[in-house]
Amino acid sequence: MTDLAGPVAVIGTGLLGTSVALACRASGLDVLLDDLSAEHLRTATGLGAGRPLRAEDRPRLVVVATPPRHLGEAVAAALSDHPDAFVTDVGSVKAAPLRVVVDVDGVDRYVGSHPMAGSERSGPLAASAALFDGRPWAVTPHAAARPDAIEAITRLARVCGAVPVVLDPEDHDLAVARTSHLPHLAAVLVAGRLAGAPSAHLALSGQGVRDVTRVAASDPVMWQQILGANSAAVLGLLGEVQKDLARLIEAVAGGDDDALGDILARGNAGTAAIPGKHGGPSTPTASVFVSVPDHPGELARLFGDAGDIGVNIEDVHIDHDPGRPVGLTELVVEAARADHLLEALESRGWTTHR
């Protein structure tokens, strides 16, 4: 099915590189692997991700998947080592590595990219051909990039099952600062205020605080590098949030309901701005809550019943229940179908509410 021309060389066989390699292999492409770590390379080839890159190989596409630090240098080396190949990288920031390569010979063959996927695990053993399935994959051409290079990287994203989103490198870095780095840091600050709190306080934790802080559990070392490489965009947004926070404090301290209402309403508007499923506008959803006994098989029975009823579940949240072996499960469904689901579940003996 692929019209991407191989062989594809993957430099760096960690989680992302090996996953790209496996996805390319699954599309029948010849894949060549390289890594400073002989052990990673052996593991990746053992997984069927490709064969070791040799000096005489002539890849048509090189994917640089080395750690964020020194990414630009690795891209420059790939452009010089493989003068016939298009080159991309899969790092999570894009302007910083471009600055390193912008004056390098052959930079017109380079187009950066960034798959919006990851895992709390790392290394080739955590890799999967399905890692990028349905995820956005930013493709970030610079001004001098060749159109056929852009086309090749866009095809790579599709071969990996991802959805290409084309935007320029600076724009990309602003976008991830807003949709990834800022939410991450806000979660870290809120979670930081939970550390050391009395256990009687923490006992009142509901689903809200769990959702807000979930991403703060990620690897600090990786985030040091990401934030370091995108510090300008992150600092711009943190400065805006600092002003918003000062206004919020002033509104709460002064009992200024109008100002507070404006801030809260802007939050409403922001949640509504996140694109809906399948990239379309958000369809209104509603939640149906169901009490589910906390042992294997009960969720299956619930989803089986929902399937029989014919209502599609858009999202699910299971409330961690601090005191009893019953989970409160929130089924998010199209708003127009919620009443039907609720009544049909009740008629099958489930305890529900909205």
We find the least distance from the C-beta atom of residue 55 to a second copy, in angstroms, to be: 33
CB of 75 to a second copy, least distance (A): 21
Provide the minimum distance between the beta carbon of 79 and a second copy in the complex, in angstroms, as a whole number.
26
Specify the residue, 53 or 292, whose C-beta has the smaller distance to a second copy. Answer: 292
Distance CA 98, CA 351 (A): 56
Sheet holding 61-64, edge to edge: 51-52, 31-34, 8-11, 61-64, 86-89
Nearer to a second copy, 81 or 168 (CB): 168
User: Other C-beta atoms within 10 Å of 148: how many?
Assistant: 11
Q: Given the complex with a second copy, which of 53 and 177 has the nearer CB atom?
A: 177
Tell which residue, 166, 165, 167, 188, has the closest CA to residue 234: 188
Residues 28, 51: contact at Cβ < 8 Å?
Answer: no
Nearest to 14 by CA among 125, 92, 129: 125
Q: Are 52 and 1 within 8 A, CB to CB?
A: no
C-beta of 103 vs 271, nearer to a second copy: 271
CB of 295 to a second copy, least distance (A): 6
- When the beta carbons of 79 and 92 are compared against a second copy, the nearer one is 92
Q: Strands, E, within 97-226: which ranges?
A: 112-115, 136-140, 163-166
CB of 235 to a second copy, least distance (A): 6
Q: What is the CA radius of gyration of the chain?
A: 24
CB burial class (10 A; 0-12, 13-18, 19+) of residue 131? buried
Q: Please report how close the Cβ of residue 49 comes to a second copy at its closest, in angstroms.
A: 13
Q: Based on CB atoms, which residue is closest to a second copy, 38 or 195?
A: 195
Going by C-alpha positions, the residue among 67, 63, 65, 66 that lies closest to residue 79 is: 63
Please, what is the minimum distance in Å from the beta carbon of residue 139 to a second copy?
11
Three-state SS for 83? Answer: coil
The count of residues in the chain is 354
Strand pairing class (86-89; 61-64): parallel
- Give the angle subtended at the CA of 193 by the CAs of 189 and 199, to the nearest 5°: 145
Which residue lies nearer to a second copy by CB, 102 or 238? Answer: 238
Query: Judged by CB, which is closer to a second copy: 110, or 132?
Result: 132
Q: At what angle do helices 220-229 and 231-253 cross, to 10 degrees?
A: 100
Nearest approach in angstroms of CB 11 to a second copy is 22
Q: Name which of 37 and 285 has its Cβ closer to a second copy.
A: 285
Nearest Cα neighbor of 304 from 290, 317, 320 is 290
Minimum distance of a second copy from residue 238's CB (angstroms): 5
SS3 letters for 7-31?
CEEEECCCHHHHHHHHHHHHCCCCE
